[in-house]
Amino acid sequence: MFEFKVETRRVKLVWFIQSIVTSSTQTNYGFELLTRAYFVDSDSVWPTQQLFQYLTHHPKLLLEITTRQIKDIADVVKQPIYHDSKFWINLSAPLIANESLFNQLWKFALQPILPILKERIVLEISEECVSDFSSIEHMKLLQSSGLKLALDDFGSGYSNLQRLNQLAFDFIKIDLGLINQVPVDIWQSSFYQQTIELCSSIGGLIVAEGVETQAQADFVQWAGADLIQGFFFSRPAPLR
């Protein structure tokens, strides 16, 4: 949990996790760390999109929150209950692109993680991060240290196929917006399958996001997804 002040109101952040399962056996592979925000005075929810918009304009606070998340997960992965599960954490674009912010995140949160634990931490990177030389070099440093990288939301409106060739991502997450009409709509289903084939040819494990029905789960398994995430298998639950 993490608290901070926005104008005259205090905000409480609570960590949630959602399971990611293997496509072949539908057994647990890992967990994605999610953030939920509440106003302390009323316990009402602060929508996630509004929270991230606020943090984008307050990068030092974003750095502080991400540092706390990484340290918390570095402790959680040690617990026997999670065995060899991987934990996925979102790494926002400002923390990758800004030299000063990245150096602080690396020094105080990422570098101190034990090597044996780094391979169980997956940093989710949005596509806009793969846009300049500095950001790519930062991501290469993360991978060389043993951390895993996932390209998030591939197939969204600003997707660029060239990004797949700029870095050897360990995972590629297919944008959940692409699965809305799968497998009902033939064209959308064909496009989804071709997206998976394209990503598979580059390398890395493919994660199908937003799976909410048995039909969708069956389809993405048939189409070649390696991992599945969505409400059909798991809804977010507080991190214990």
Structural domain count, the chain: 1
Query: By the 8 A CB rule, do 209 and 234 touch?
Result: no
Confidence at residue 43, expressed as pLDDT on a 0 to 100 scale: 87
| Domain residue limits at 86 | 2-238
| Tens digits of pLDDT across the chain (240 residues) | 899 999 899 999 999 999 999 999 999 999 999 999 999 999 899 999 999 999 999 999 999 999 999 999 999 998 888 888 999 999 998 999 999 999 999 999 999 999 989 999 999 998 777 777 888 899 999 999 999 999 998 887 655 566 667 788 999 999 999 999 999 999 999 999 999 998 888 888 999 999 999 999 999 999 999 999 999 999 999 997
What CATH code is carried by the domain that includes residue 28?
3.20.20.450
* Residue 69 main-chain phi, psi, to 5 deg: -60, -45
Confidence at residue 156, expressed as pLDDT on a 0 to 100 scale: 72
H or E, element range at 218: helix 214-223
Q: For 29-65, what is each residue's pLDDT tens digit?
A: 999 999 999 999 998 999 999 999 999 999 999 999 9
| Dihedral sign, Cα of residue 54, residue 177, residue 205, residue 232 | positive
CA distance 83 to 87: 11
**10 Å Cβ neighbour count for 173?**
28
Give the residue among 91, 200, 71, 82 at the shortest CA–CA distance from 143.
91
Read off the amino acid at residue 149. Answer: L
Q: Quick one: angle between helices 48-56 and 59-76, nearest 10?
A: 120
CA distance 81 to 76: 9
Confidence at residue 88, expressed as pLDDT on a 0 to 100 scale: 97
Q: What's the whole-model pTM score?
A: 0.93
